[in-house]
Amino acid sequence: MLKAMLAVAALAVAATPLSAQGALSDPRYEVTLVFGASLLSAESDSAKPLPFDSLQTFEALLPAGTLRRLLPSTIEAHDHMGASFLQGFQVSRRLARRGWLEAEFLIAPAHTRRHTTSFPCPAEVCALAGLSSLGDALASEERVTAYHYGLGFAYELARGEVRPFLSVGAGAVTYDVPRGGGTSFAFEFGAGARLSFGERIGGRIEVVDRVVPDHFLSGTTEHDVHVRAGAVFRLP
């Protein structure tokens, strides 16, 4: 990921016209309408023993050992959450000659969480159905919306009509999901370039690695890579 962002910055530096260095006036504020993709891929696995003790009432009605022979000893659960398109805005305030203080609010409304409950299919039960497990039969999907917000700092590596930059920031992400979800701290680092199309209009492209140390789904650190492009409106 770091190599990819450094490559973006290096290409942008190489594309900067030398004759254009410092040729543009420096606006104090920029508002960027952002579109892109959140390339998240998070997973979690868990296993629970089947509570045979709670089934003693039914077991008494059957020959001894029937339930333990027909039912598995454990039930396994697997969750996966995939990518989504991304939209939102950024507000930037110039600090000194090459620095920018930036605030952002982005929404990724189309993540899909797939939940699968599975267990080895007993031969006596699944031979008739030709299955090895019941995982696909017990799967469900739900839509997850992610809200990203934070504050960061960007530093321009060159000046001119193409201005490559590196950025760092911190904030949070809130997941709106029927089961679970919540808000987690996040920090990010990235690389990109500002493009000039005129005195008040520009563009912006960047790749950002948004790191979530305690993701609600996996409980571990997840890397939510954002590929972003935006229309920039410069203000005095």
User: Is residue 98 a part of any domain in this protein?
Assistant: yes
pTM above 0.95, yes or no: no
Q: Looking up tokens 């609010």, which residue turns up?
A: 105
Under a CB-based contact definition with an 8 Å cutoff, are residues 179 and 142 in contact?
yes
CATH number of the domain that residue 204 is part of: 2.40.160.20
pLDDT of residue 51: 58
Mean local confidence (pLDDT), 106-120: 88
What is the C-alpha separation between 117 and 114, in angstroms, rounded?
10
Q: Print the domain residue range for 106.
A: 2-46+80-115+143-235
Cα 155 to Cα 16, 140, 193, distances in angstroms: 16, 44, 10
User: Is residue 157 a part of any domain in this protein?
Assistant: yes
Mean local confidence (pLDDT), 114-118: 84
- For 136-183, write each residue's pLDDT tens digit: 557 889 999 999 999 999 999 998 899 999 999 999 999 998 877 889
User: Is residue 69 a part of any domain in this protein?
Assistant: no
Count of CB atoms situated within 10 Å of the CB of 102: 17
Mean local confidence (pLDDT), 216-224: 94
User: Is residue 223 a part of any domain in this protein?
Assistant: yes
pLDDT of residue 54: 55
Mean local confidence (pLDDT), 77-89: 95
User: Is residue 60 a part of any domain in this protein?
Assistant: no
Q: Which candidate, 179, 177, 181, 184, places its Cα nearest to that of 149?
A: 184
User: Is residue 147 a part of any domain in this protein?
Assistant: yes
Q: How confident is the model at residue 20 (pLDDT cuts 50, 70, 90)?
A: very low
What is the C-alpha separation between 160 and 185, in angstroms, rounded?
35
Count of domains observed in the chain = 1
User: Is residue 22 a part of any domain in this protein?
Assistant: yes
Percent of the chain with pLDDT over 70: 71
User: Is residue 126 a part of any domain in this protein?
Assistant: no
- For 22-65, write each residue's pLDDT tens digit: 444 678 999 999 999 999 999 998 877 665 555 555 555 545 55
Handedness of CA 24, 33, 206, 35 (dihedral sign): negative
